[in-house]
Amino acid sequence: MRKLKLAPSVFGADLGNLREQLKILEENDVELLHVDVMDGHFVEKMAFGPDHIKMLKNMTSIPLDVHLMIEKPERKLDAIIDAGADIITIHQESTTRLYSCIEKIKSRGRKAGVVLSPATSEDTLKYVLDKIDMILLMTINPGEDGPGFHPELVEKMRNVHRFIGDRPIDLEVDGGIDNTNIQVCREAGVNVFVSGGYVFKGDIAEKIRSLRENA
Ligand code: ZN
């Protein structure tokens, strides 16, 4: 089984205490920091542009896992890469130029991934599997809060895990992940877990321990 990685989402952090909270993540050996970039078009919310990514890069040594929820991501890739993103994931639904986006990211020495919204079929991954480093499956609609984790997507996780085979691709899930559903995802082959609200509400170190224990 591929190595477990936790990717707390900075969107769930208390921005007033960000430095302190990042320190706790570092002390607890969190593998990735998930950064949601939202443009107000692809999703209704707006969050975290290149300037914020640059700020985060200066504040922490945790690699930045940047999830682009923006229309036409090809227009912003250079700025996101220049800002210090280590992994960049792009929604299958957000561009007609997925190949050139992946090539751009890879040519600049960063890791590239593809994200599928809950209703997008895993079959759409077929022709990118040999080009990418990560697949991110949304377990809720991107940019939406409710109604939480959709358990019927576990079958999709299993299918994607099977597609990946022994390729060096991380399989990540995002949306409503907590200590009650992490195990079922892990058993379906997922190894990277985004968690926002769950990790940052309450005792962060304890939440991280609980995720690792339950995975
Ligand atoms: Zn995300």
> Could you report the per-residue pLDDT of 81-138, keeping only the tens digit for each?
999 999 999 999 999 999 999 999 999 999 999 999 999 999 999 999 999 999 999 9
| Residues recorded for the chain | 215
79 burial via Cβ count (<10 Å: 0-12, 13-18, 19+): middle
140: DSSP letter = S
- 177 C-alpha to center of ligand 1: Å? 11
Q: What are 20-67's pLDDT values in tens digits?
A: 999 999 999 999 999 999 999 999 999 999 999 999 999 999 999 999
pLDDT at 145 (0 to 100) = 80
Asked if the model's pLDDT at residue 150 lies above 90, the reply is: no
Averaged confidence pLDDT in the chain: 96
The one-letter amino acid at 16: G
Residues 14, 153: Cα–Cα separation, whole Å: 29
pLDDT at 69 (0 to 100) = 98
Beta-strand ranges (E) seen in the chain are: 5-8, 33-39, 46-47, 64-69, 87-91, 111-116, 134-138, 170-174, 192-195
Of the chain, the percentage scoring pLDDT greater than 70 comes to 100
Helix (H), strand (E) counts: the chain: 8, 9
Q: Enumerate the active-site residues.
A: 36, 174
- 82 C-alpha to center of ligand 1: Å? 20
Asked if the model's pLDDT at residue 188 lies above 80, the reply is: yes
Asked if the model's pLDDT at residue 146 lies above 90, the reply is: no
The environment of the single-atom ion ligand 1, i.e. residues with CB closer than 5 A, is 36, 67, 174
Smallest CA-to-CA distance from 6 within 24, 25, 26, 32 is with 32
- 71 C-alpha to center of ligand 1: Å? 15
